Structure 1
Amino acid sequence: MEEDNPAALVDICLAWVCHSMEQLCVKREDGSLCFHHCPVFPQLLADQLLSKMAEEGVLNDSTIGVFRSHEHLRLRRVCLRASHLSAEAFCLATQPHRLQELDASRVHGGLTVSDVLLSLAANTESSDNLQRLNLSRLEMGEGFLENERLSFSSMPGLRTVLLAGTELDDSGLQDLCTLPRLEALDISSTCVTDLTSLLDCQATLMSLSAHGLRHLEMPAARLLLVLGRLERLRHLDLSDDRLTSDGDGVVEQLLEKPGILPALLSLDMSGRRGITDNAVQAFLEARPNMTFIGLLATGAGFSDFFTVKSNLKVAGEANIHQISEALKRYCERECFIREALVHLYSLTNDTDEPQSDVLKLVIMGMKSHEQSLHVQLVATACIFNLTTQDKVLGMPLCLLRTTVHQLLIAMRHFPNHEQLQKNCLLSLCNDRILQDVPFDRFDAAKLVMSWLSSREDHTLQRMAVAIVSILVSKLTTEETTRLGAEAFIMEQLLSIVQQKASAGVVDSTLKFALSALWNLTDESPAACRHFLQCQGLELYTEVLESYYTESCIQQKVMGLLNNIAEVVELRADLMDEDLLEHVLTLLGGADVEVGVSYFAGGILANLTSTGVSAWTLDLELRDTILSKLHSAILTWTPPQHEMVSYRSFQPFYPLLNSSQPTGVQLWAAWAVHLVCRQNASQYASMLQEEGGLDILKSLILHPDTHDDVRKLAESIVGISEQAEQARREREG
């Protein structure tokens, strides 16, 4: 499967700089940062660094200090979108630069429109040369327009001004419309009541976004008269987030005017319910050069006309193409994103083909509205539809990684919403995602277990435990240890085992819980200790007795007890005669699977390896164990499938010591031989790196080594040498 193009080297480097500020900088007295040493950046690269800092969420009053000097970092196109900045930090960092573009939209931390205009006015080069200004969603600030230095008209080079979601009023609009080069204007969701001032810029204005003007007091006829005189207008947005009928009739009347807006290429009227296909079609036929029409939540767009017109993009709900266009166009508009996702969910219920492009758009909408329950709920449902069964196999790993990241964010933000949590778990419970996709599995496992601790829904419980079981198996030893040290995780998994055992149930939930506990205790003494402290041994003894005919259950129980037996200081806890007698019965026999016998042998080998002085039970029992262990191993037939895997052979080396009883040595040699035989290249290199081959060779040469042990050791060495020879031949 082809992956998406890898990240550009410049993006990787910039991201590294963003997250290494503390190491690369020193602090000034006011707490702002300054690079230790900074070469002269190419101008474009300086803009990219600032934009990357905003994108990565590291831009703040401290880090923006690196741009205070324009000698090494010269800014032209400044993007601060959605950062946390004070007015003082903004002014200190941007005033030294000759700006051409400034995007301070949705900046929080106290920055206002007034602060921005005052800062720009303090630098005549910026005020004269600024061409694009985006201050959407900022407060206007005190004293706006009371001082002539705060007027937009003091920046005559402005071509694009975006003020959506601000408190811009009629006087502010009047000031804007005196700009001699104004080409694009966004006054959506402002306090403007009258658009007549637009006539002052009719000679230059080519793009107008004016949706959500709740305070507009113009009658429809007057509004259409003003719009009709904007003859150079190419883009007009009159959409309505309220998703109500076209009450004022503006759009309906606009569609009926034959000669209005002759230069128009793009018209957005999404959310204006009651628009008909016939009216839209007639409008478009009179303007064959139109390239976009917004029809989401209007009731229009279902006619064949909209599918055969190849040069026209439609944001609507009639098909996947229209919905995809809506998700692209309305990324910042929560209401429209939610509406588009609702229709997408319906259309993707029965899809079979992978749709990576559509999934990307869903993720984009989730990122833009992480705090919106409505968006997250329907988006997670869409993700499930888009990643079920084989569809996920045709998607790039990097896209799936981003998808998992957004699912975990949704789970974290809305922990008490059952349906959203269910959507996320359904999507995560996918082998391709859990096995192959690179993401923070430790964090995911902890999050899922934290959620599970307060839920009793059996379906969700099964999914959550399955997810955790697979995630834990993919963790590093260090991560497993950290996770196993979390008391609530061990307690929750043991509680599930207790519930199932009490009811005598054998189901996937029980098996996954046992697997998770087994993996949690693998090479983790802390987790093993935690297991014992939570009365896990008593529970597992009951499970062994209750499920004596279930080989799958017994193998998982034996595997965990073997993990405990590997921890020298915990072996005393397993010195129980009844328990060991039971383990002895599982060493061999026609009814016992080799996997169960193998781990039973591991428990007994580890317990008897510590010597007579550490053996607290009857010595005759120890002799019996060693004798039966030796004879049982000789009867084992290695399975064809992979029965076990190891991160390291370290637990086996002490058992191969020449001073160990023959049964102990034989079990360890059989274990190493088993995995080397099944996966020679992986385990041969592990033996080489860990010094295991030297231990085996010493064992072969020792005069007291039993022939059965020597044969296995010689076979392991032979397999390893062949694997090493094959590796050298491959490498030339």
Structure 2
Amino acid sequence: MLACPILINEETPEALSYICLKYICTCLDSISYRDPVNPWMHHLLPGVILPNEICERLLQVFQQEGNSVDDGFANLFSDSRCMPLKRLKLRNSTLGNEALKRLLGAHRLTEVDLQRCSRLTDQCFETLNATSDQLLSLSIGDDTGIFPKTLHSGSDARMTSAYEARGFMLRAPKLKRLSLRMQCERKYFLTLLRPLRSLTHLDLSCCGGLGCLDYLDEMQCLMSLVLYNVQGVQSMIPAICSIKSLRHLDISQANEKHGKFLDENQALLLLIQNLPNLESLDISGTNLAGTGAAVMHEGPVNSDSGVSDIPGLKSRAFRPLEFLGLYGTMHGACHRHDIPAKRISGDANEQQILTAAAAYLDRPEILQKVLNDLYHLFRFESCQDLNMALTLVLGAMDRHRTEKHIQISGSATLFYIVKGKEKQVFVPHIKKRIVSTLLNAMSAHKDDDTMMRNGCLTLCQFKIPQDVLFEYQRLVEILLHIVSDMEQEGFVQRIGIYLLNSLACQVDGTQKQLLGDMGAMDKMLRIIEDRLQRRHCDDVLEVAWSTMWNVTDETAVNCQRFLEGGGMDLFLRCLNTFHEKEELLRNMMGLLGNVAEVKHLRPKLMTSEFVNVFANLLDSNTDGIEVSYNAAGVLSHMASDGADKWTMTTPRREDVLSRMVGAVEKWDLNTERNINYRSFEPILHLVNVNHTPECQHWAVWALANLTEVYENKYCFLVIEEGGIQLLYALLAHEAPYPRIKELATKVIDKCREQFPEHLVFHQEMSSSVECSRSELVLMPVLAHMDQY
């Protein structure tokens, strides 16, 4: 029967149990320890005992999160007293024979579902046979070779096999559901199936060598028979007609040439007349719907016949089927008007397409076509049932991670779903589900240009980095692969480096360091080297510098990586080769400003060549004041170490400082900025440098400009980080000259104006020059607390 997928629920948040299970999946050490000899093997921690429902859910969530069940993870379930299972459902696992044998032997399983478990062989069959007394459901996929390929172990096919001699292949007296994908002989299926008389559901999709199915005549409990993609169904019709208990029959085909029946109208009519309990019928991909339109009966219409555009279903006109599969039927049957069915799979409208997607979730060759139909529906029309569409697309992608074309079609549809006007209603846990599914697909097909393009474009519809922080490391890995290993100058590389740069913005130092640890600096430097060798300046080159600018922000280890990777040489070469590129120059100088903030790295910048370059850039009008501003910032930090650290004779320190002050005074205090400060700590450090007032001049001008133009954001940051106390200390000191104190007063006044309730201004603070940095930071916080 047609499965009804569980809809993604916008209203209900993620269950606490699901959140906990996801945590366990990402941190298996919370319930297990690794074998000291074989580190890949997990052992359950002493005292950990979970109920059956939680164990099965853990296995499900582990796979949903993109993990493959291997021997090491499966070992957690080796003791049924601590981790009991009744249902074993594995998909795309790398489980081996011995691990499966342990699971089968340890648990009294009622359901076993093994899909795409390519390492399993028929060595497990007898273990399965010996432990199947309680088995109710068994499903073996086409890539899982548990069943023997032949009845005979020897070369003489005339000999009676051991299975025939004992009267059965599979000893499963309670088995209700069986699904197989095999190519064998009629005798094989007869020996396997005839003893299984309790079967209610039998799925023999894609099986070959079934014969005429006459051995099913004793299965009087059979309610569902699926013969999808089975050849020679016409010869099986008499046997099918004898199974009066059937409620669901699927004889659909993926290949049109195998779906041609002789006297198709009569063949369908024969099935309908002989299967009185039929509620669901799938004839997709066949000619059984006939070619003509409805033919009205002359005279009165009795209760057994009526109008139907499908001649073979005329008798069901007044008793319509619950489901009728017409997807890909010849002569476009799904587009006809009078179809005696409540639900129809087809491509005529949205409802039919969504019904088809739900019906064929486990049939990748058909599902790919349905997803293409859904994609065109979103692209050229509109989809009313967005919730169902999203549920089905995510379900399809999660089920078939290794099927590239399903991932491509699914991700293309996801793009239009999240791009649409409805995207704002997605609650966080649904966003997480979409992002995780996309990353699973991108990880599985990371060398496919189309898949990576679809994934990146879809991710761009989310808020970066906020919506992807929970998958930060995995996304970084994918993007680093894109920018370094995929086609240079291609669209995918450009969008990949854009996303990587966005990931480096507005995150804390831990994540910035993680980016560096994963090789971001090295890969950016290699991109720059490539562009220099080809003398080609493009947006990728500019964003590579921007990414390093963001990654080095208050992250000393990444600044060091830049220097050790030959970054300064690349800076000079880019400056000489692409000197007219304003955006590039701004990004490079922003990066060098971060490097100059690191005290132990400043000596590496203290060369005549570098300092002359920085000094000359003080007069630059590139990108407004940004390049000049950053050059002054670099020189201020270098000069803040004192005259004895200025180790070169030319240019002279006092000459550089004089040029720097001249540049600062040319800037308009109301200039809007292309910069974003998370912290003022490096600038506030310079406010304290009384031995070199020129450094204070640049720092206080920066604070005055930012609090004047972006008062709501930066006034509070000055207060929060103890800047007001530092500025009072500056006003009380004799070293700063009047212009510096004038700018400092502007900052204090602006902060008082914006946030008077956050400050208690004590005039005596001006004498607190000796306060430690930590004390100064605490003062406004304590003052704020006193108000309450």
TM-score by length of 1: 0.82
C-alpha distance in structure 2 between counterparts of 1:451 and 1:27, whole Å: 33
Deviation at 1:236, TM superposition (A): 0.8
Deviation at 1:390, TM superposition (A): 5.2
Matches within 5 A, 1:6-405: 6-25=13-32, 33-39=43-49, 41-53=50-62, 55=64, 57=67, 59-110=69-120, 112=122, 115=124, 118-119=127-128, 121-122=130-131, 127=133, 129-137=134-142, 138-139=144-145, 140-141=147-148, 146-147=162-163, 151=168, 154-165=171-182, 169-173=186-190, 175-191=192-208, 192-201=210-219, 203-214=220-231, 220=234, 222-244=235-257, 246-249=259-262, 253-257=266-270, 259-272=273-286, 275-276=289-290, 278=293, 281-287=310-316, 288-299=319-330, 300-303=332-335, 305=337, 312-351=342-381, 355=386, 357-388=388-419, 392-393=423-424, 395-396=426-427, 398-405=429-436
Q: Does 1:666 align with 2:697?
A: yes
The aligned amino acid for 1:657 is N
Deviation at 1:337, TM superposition (A): 1.6
Gap change, CA 1:250 and 1:679, over 3 Å in 2: farther
C-alpha distance in structure 1 between counterparts of 2:429 and 2:263, whole Å: 45
Cα offsets for 1:324-370 (capped at 9, x unmatched): 22222222222112222333333333346794543443333233333
Q: 1:313 is paired with a residue of what secondary structure?
A: strand
Gap change, CA 1:376 and 1:83, over 3 Å in 2: closer
C-alpha distance in structure 2 between counterparts of 1:614 and 1:548, whole Å: 30
The question of whether the paired residues in 1 share the 8 Å contact of 2:281 and 2:324 is answered with yes
Cα offsets for 1:51-104 (capped at 9, x unmatched): 445555464444444444444544333434443434444344344544433334
Deviation at 1:665, TM superposition (A): 1.9
The question of whether the paired residues in 2 share the 8 Å contact of 1:494 and 1:536 is answered with no
Q: 1:200 is paired with a residue of what secondary structure?
A: coil
The aligned amino acid for 2:355 is E
Gap change, CA 1:70 and 1:679, over 3 Å in 2: farther
The aligned amino acid for 1:11 is Y
The aligned amino acid for 2:53 is L
Deviation at 1:7, TM superposition (A): 1.9
Gap change, CA 1:591 and 1:246, over 3 Å in 2: closer
C-alpha distance in structure 1 between counterparts of 2:608 and 2:63, whole Å: 64
The aligned amino acid for 2:223 is M
The aligned amino acid for 2:495 is M
- What residue in structure 2 maps to residue 467 of structure 1? 499
Deviation at 1:185, TM superposition (A): 0.9
Say which of 588, 611, 632 aligns to 2:642.
Answer: 611
C-alpha distance in structure 2 between counterparts of 1:350 and 1:223, whole Å: 42
Gap change, CA 1:90 and 1:712, over 3 Å in 2: same
Sequence identity (%) = 25
C-alpha distance in structure 2 between counterparts of 1:467 and 1:79, whole Å: 36
The aligned amino acid for 2:218 is D
Gap change, CA 1:616 and 1:177, over 3 Å in 2: same
The aligned amino acid for 2:482 is W
Deviation at 1:228, TM superposition (A): 1.6
Cα offsets for 1:552-590 (capped at 9, x unmatched): 444323212212222334434544557655645655798
Cα offsets for 1:571-614 (capped at 9, x unmatched): 34544557655645655798872333432321221121121112
Gap change, CA 1:61 and 1:493, over 3 Å in 2: closer
- What residue in structure 1 maps to residue 772 of structure 2? none
Question: Which moves more between the two structures, 406-415 or 318-327?
Answer: 406-415
The question of whether the paired residues in 1 share the 8 Å contact of 2:55 and 2:83 is answered with yes
Gap change, CA 1:251 and 1:182, over 3 Å in 2: farther
Deviation at 1:198, TM superposition (A): 1.4
Gap change, CA 1:640 and 1:208, over 3 Å in 2: farther
Gap change, CA 1:639 and 1:395, over 3 Å in 2: farther
The question of whether the paired residues in 1 share the 8 Å contact of 2:261 and 2:286 is answered with no
Deviation at 1:253, TM superposition (A): 4.3
Q: 2:370 is paired with a residue of what secondary structure?
A: helix
C-alpha distance in structure 2 between counterparts of 1:532 and 1:513, whole Å: 15
The question of whether the paired residues in 1 share the 8 Å contact of 2:711 and 2:750 is answered with no
Matches within 5 A, 1:665-704: 665-672=696-703, 695=726, 698-699=729-730, 701-702=732-733, 704=735
Say which of 623, 629, 649 aligns to 1:598.
Answer: 629
Gap change, CA 1:185 and 1:549, over 3 Å in 2: closer
Question: Which moves more between the two structures, 363-372 or 241-250?
Answer: 241-250
C-alpha distance in structure 1 between counterparts of 2:721 and 2:184, whole Å: 69
C-alpha distance in structure 2 between counterparts of 1:19 and 1:547, whole Å: 46
Deviation at 1:24, TM superposition (A): 2.5
Gap change, CA 1:341 and 1:73, over 3 Å in 2: closer
The question of whether the paired residues in 1 share the 8 Å contact of 2:327 and 2:334 is answered with no
Unpaired runs of 5+ residues, structure 2, are 1-8, 152-160, 294-307, 761-779
TM-score by length of 2: 0.77
The aligned amino acid for 2:230 is L
C-alpha distance in structure 2 between counterparts of 1:669 and 1:55, whole Å: 53
C-alpha distance in structure 1 between counterparts of 2:80 and 2:501, whole Å: 54
Question: Which moves more between the two structures, 232-241 or 674-683?
Answer: 674-683
The question of whether the paired residues in 2 share the 8 Å contact of 1:584 and 1:625 is answered with yes
Aligned residues: 714
C-alpha distance in structure 1 between counterparts of 2:60 and 2:434, whole Å: 23
Gap change, CA 1:721 and 1:317, over 3 Å in 2: same
The question of whether the paired residues in 2 share the 8 Å contact of 1:497 and 1:513 is answered with no
The question of whether the paired residues in 1 share the 8 Å contact of 2:32 and 2:45 is answered with yes
Gap change, CA 1:101 and 1:711, over 3 Å in 2: same
Gap change, CA 1:409 and 1:195, over 3 Å in 2: same
- What residue in structure 1 maps to residue 528 of structure 2? 494
Q: 2:138 is paired with a residue of what secondary structure?
A: strand
Q: Does 1:651 align with 2:682?
A: yes
The aligned amino acid for 2:135 is L
C-alpha distance in structure 1 between counterparts of 2:103 and 2:112, whole Å: 13
Unpaired runs of 5+ residues, structure 1, are none
C-alpha distance in structure 2 between counterparts of 1:382 and 1:190, whole Å: 32
The question of whether the paired residues in 2 share the 8 Å contact of 1:446 and 1:483 is answered with no
C-alpha distance in structure 2 between counterparts of 1:293 and 1:154, whole Å: 35
Q: CA RMSD in A?
A: 4.3
Q: 1:190 is paired with a residue of what secondary structure?
A: coil
Cα offsets for 1:27-64 (capped at 9, x unmatched): 7999673441034x444334434444555546444444
